[in-house]
């Protein structure tokens, strides 16, 4: 029985030699790289779409089943971005998924646009406005002074609408189902740097570098309260995670190909002992 007949009977891989070779190469990859997450879809949705794209290129045909897809390709991401946020989403492939814990706890950078005078239930622009307060009394110097209190090792209460879980379910899902959810206790987080880039009330722009477990939405909400007003996040972009930057390393949707992944991949340490920074997808070969 030839290869074409075997794969036809299996019903899941193209009979052409090219796709079979592509699938084998795809399954042999181990390491980290970064893709671009746009506003709207969840991080899980983006990862699933990325996986579908690679498997289709490799000639894999399968039912719309998460279990079946997992059998073909092991992928994971290194930290959830809110649906309304965009930017760097670090992806682990193969044994690279074991390295994702360092992405969860490591340094991240964000650009956040906040809006003074309005608070929402989700702490961002996707939510319902639940409070409005005056903000005209706030000056740039006022905000810069208050930001000092949010730098370094601080305590922070996570948002109710978040990926944190209770009894195995995300708090955001429980809230949408109408369940009563108590706020999680304040927990220690680290802010490495926090600067005010632009101040044009009611809008302001922050540049943030922080450690794992930090919520920009909580920061902006707390900042509004500290200024005797209120605020929410209007726009959020993750510009850096670990060594991966938005400018140099992310694969945009039109670059979601095996060739681009190979070119951008940072191999697992046991496979490649080099300590240089990740390769830019523009240099993929």
User: Are 60 and 70 spatial neighbours (Cβ–Cβ below 8 Å)?
Assistant: no
Label the pairing between strands 165-166 and 169-170.
Answer: antiparallel
The string of DSSP codes covering 85-116 is -EEEEEEEEGGGGGGHHHHHHS-EEEEEEEEE
pTM of the predicted model, to two decimals? Answer: 0.82
Q: Do 203 and 254 belong together in one domain? A: no
Q: Do 256 and 205 belong together in one domain? A: no
User: Are 231 and 216 spatial neighbours (Cβ–Cβ below 8 Å)?
Assistant: no
State the distance between the two ends of the chain, measured CA to CA, in whole angstroms: 35
Answer yes or no: is pLDDT of 191 > 70.
Answer: yes
Note the pLDDT of residue 177: 53
Residue of 45, 82, 121, 222 with catalytic role: 82
153 is catalytic: no
- For residue 173, the surrounding DSSP H or E stretch is helix 171-176
User: Are 88 and 34 spatial neighbours (Cβ–Cβ below 8 Å)?
Assistant: yes
Report helix, strand or coil for 195. strand
Note the pLDDT of residue 8: 36
Q: What is the CATH number of the domain that holds 36?
A: 3.30.70
Where is average pLDDT lowest: 122-126, 196-200, 233-237? 122-126
Answer yes or no: is pLDDT of 67 > 50.
Answer: yes
Q: How far apart are CA 280 and CA 245, in angstroms?
A: 9
Bridge partners (DSSP) listed for residue 36: 88
**95-114, pLDDT tens digit by residue?**
999 999 887 778 999 999 99
Average pLDDT, the chain: 83
Total structural domains in the chain? Answer: 2
Report helix, strand or coil for 179. coil
Q: What is the CATH number of the domain that holds 220?
A: 3.30.2350.10
Structural domain harbouring 29: 15-105+242-269
Q: Do 38 and 136 belong together in one domain? A: no
User: Are 241 and 228 spatial neighbours (Cβ–Cβ below 8 Å)?
Assistant: no
Residue 245 has φ and ψ, to the nearest 5°, of -110, 155
Q: Is residue 86 part of a domain?
A: yes
């Amino acid at each position: 029985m030839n290869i074409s007949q075997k794969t036809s009977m299996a019903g899941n891989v193209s009979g052409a030699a090219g796709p079979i070779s592509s699938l084998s190469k795809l399954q042999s990859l181990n390491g980290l790289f970064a893709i671009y997450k746009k506003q709207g879809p969840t991080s899980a949705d983006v990862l699933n779409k990325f996986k579908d794209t690679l498997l289709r290129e490799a000639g894999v045909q399968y039912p719309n089943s998460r279990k079946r897809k997992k059998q073909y390709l092991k992928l994971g991401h290194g930290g959830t971005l809110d649906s309304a946020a965009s930017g760097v989403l670090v992806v682990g492939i193969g044994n690279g998924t074991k390295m994702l814990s360092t992405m969860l706890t490591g340094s991240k950078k964000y650009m956040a646009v906040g809006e003074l005078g309005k608070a929402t239930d989700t702490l961002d622009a996707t939510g319902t406005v639940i409070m409005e307060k005056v903000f005209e009394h706030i000056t740039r110097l006022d905000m810069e002074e208050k930001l000092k209190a949010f730098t370094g090792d601080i305590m922070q209460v996570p948002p109710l609408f978040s990926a944190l879980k209770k009894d195995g379910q995300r708090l955001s899902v429980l809230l949408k189902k109408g369940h009563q959810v108590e706020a999680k206790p304040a927990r220690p987080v680290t802010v490495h740097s926090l600067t005010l880039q632009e101040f044009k009330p009611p809008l302001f722009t922050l540049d943030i570098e922080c450690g794992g477990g930090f919520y920009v939405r909580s920061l902006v909400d707390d900042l509004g309260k500290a200024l005797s007003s209120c605020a929410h996040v209007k726009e959020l972009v993750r510009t850096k995670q670990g060594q991966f930057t938005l400018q140099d390393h992310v694969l945009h949707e039109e670059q979601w190909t095996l060739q681009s992944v190979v070119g951008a991949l940072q191999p697992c340490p046991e496979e490649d002992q080099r300590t240089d920074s990740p390769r830019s997808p523009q240099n993929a070969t």
